Homo-oligomer: A and B are copies of this chain.
Amino acid sequence: MISMNKSKAQVLGRLLQALHKLESTPSFAKLVSEVRVNLVYALPHAESPKDVAAIDGRITVVNNQPKAAGLPRFGVSDHMARAILQIRQYRSKIRAGVNFLYNNKIADTVKEYAREKNLSYGYIDRRQEPKERQAKEGESMPWKIRYLKEQYGEIPTIFYESAGWGKEPLYVLIGKDPVAVVNHVASIAKKSSIE
């Protein structure tokens, strides 16, 4: 029990440090997608979205700066939390992730960054998704992550989901630690704002 509380505090605190970094990266505002951004960090033995900490209300743009709408908290992310939980079935050390804007211009920067840093890169072609699966709420995620595994042999560290029917295309960048994940997107944001 004490050890679980320690783990929870550790996860919340580390997520907060990552958030400090993201909020102090003004150029990241340009990478905030329509659905806004979430930044998540799972407990070591996370089994459900309740075991994943995220930013309550997501990260939005206020006064042209990235800004958390609320505090880091467990159980406040659905989509990104389920993505990380699925990914962990194939890459068990992955515990953190962030989503951000996809468009052609950003894709050029991200691909170049992935090459430079030797990060694996992939994408999910949503047109390949069986129609009956899309219809059922919550069944898309297992398909998407399995698709990545099948296409690339391993879940890539950076991937995007192509646009779907009713779904904005989005980048996802994953890692063991939320600060490392944010360091990558902050570098991408700076690179992207120069180009």
Chain A interface size band reads 35 or more
Instruction: State whether the Cβ of A56 lies closer than 8 Å to any Cβ in chain B.
Output: yes
Q: How many copies does the complex hold?
A: 4
Nearest opposing residue in chain B for A18, CB measure: B9
Of the candidates B16, B36, B166, which one forms a contact with A12 in the assembled complex, judged by CB atoms under 8 Å apart? B16
The answer to whether A8 and B19 have CB atoms under 8 Å apart is no
Question: What are 7 residue pairs bridging A and B, where the CB atoms are less than 8 Å apart in the complex?
Answer: A6-B10, A10-B10, A13-B14, A16-B16, A19-B71, A34-B35, A71-B71
Q: Which one of B13, B15, B168 contacts A8 once the chains associate, using CB atoms below 8 Å?
A: B13
Name the segment of A57-65, A114-122, A185-193 touching the other chain: A57-65
Q: Which DSSP category, helix, strand, loop or mixed, fits chain A's interface? A: mixed
With A57-B60, A168-B167 as given contacts, are A71 and B20 in contact (CB-CB < 8 Å)? Answer: yes
Which residues of the other chain, B, contact A163 by a CB distance below 8 angstroms? 165-166
Q: Write out, one digit per residue, whether chain A residues 38-81 have a CB within 8 A of any chain B CB (1) or not (0).
A: 00000000000000000011101111000111111100000000
Specify which chain B residues have a CB less than 8 angstroms from the CB of A67 in the assembled complex: 57, 69-70
